Amino acid sequence: MDAVGREMAMSKKIRLATAWLAGCSGCHMSLLDLHEELIGLFDAVELVFSPLADVKEFPAEVDITLVEGAVANLDNLELAEIIRSNSRLVISFGDCAVTGNVTSLRNQIPVEDLLSAVYREGAASLPGSGDAEGIVPKLLPRVLPLHQVVKVDAYLPGCPPSPQRISAAINALLAGELPKLPPDMRTFG
């Protein structure tokens, strides 16, 4: 490899993606709370997919994907599977991805009862005149944590994980290690 090639290889940025499944986006807000640290981060990574970037399709050959949110519907399920097959490392990012959290509070209620209570019996109606087929993604019978759907390589708990936790986890990942957070930085909730 010549000098220029070596330099190009050295400067190859880590391809980072973040995804938003069924969650409130609070984890992404916490990510933005890294503030000036983000500038340094983008020296080392290229953000190839994210709700914060306008990319329509999840790309191939992603190094690290942070996944916020639980798997609640067929769209989440499909994206989770694409993320897994296209990413070297998949990280459950925040309590909804890790445990199901608030998103899974609906798991005690059958889906049809839930839709009836929220849409059919309420003031609003289901999009598509009571039949959501093809318009909104079908809900899964139960909301699942990400690792019950695809293999997950590391977990970043917290609702949301604090910027300090996110920073510690990302720095470990950039150093080529799986994050191992100390006890006070790995609590649920």
Q: Which residue ranges make up the site for another protein (CB under 8 A)?
A: 92, 95, 98-102, 104-105, 107-108, 142, 145, 147-148, 152, 155, 157, 159, 181, 183-184, 186-189
| Of residues 69 and 145, the one with the C-beta less far from another protein | 145
Residues 6+ apart with CB under 8 A from 16: 45, 46, 47, 48, 62, 63, 64, 65, 66
- Asked if 145 and 76 touch (Cβ cutoff 8 Å), the reply is no
| Of residues 15 and 186, the one with the C-beta less far from another protein | 186
| Of residues 17 and 160, the one with the C-beta less far from another protein | 160
Least separation in angstroms between residue 5's CB and another protein is 40
Q: Which residue has the tokens 């957070």?
A: 181
Least separation in angstroms between residue 71's CB and another protein is 13
158 φψ region: left (φ > 0), alpha (ψ -120 to 50), beta (else): left
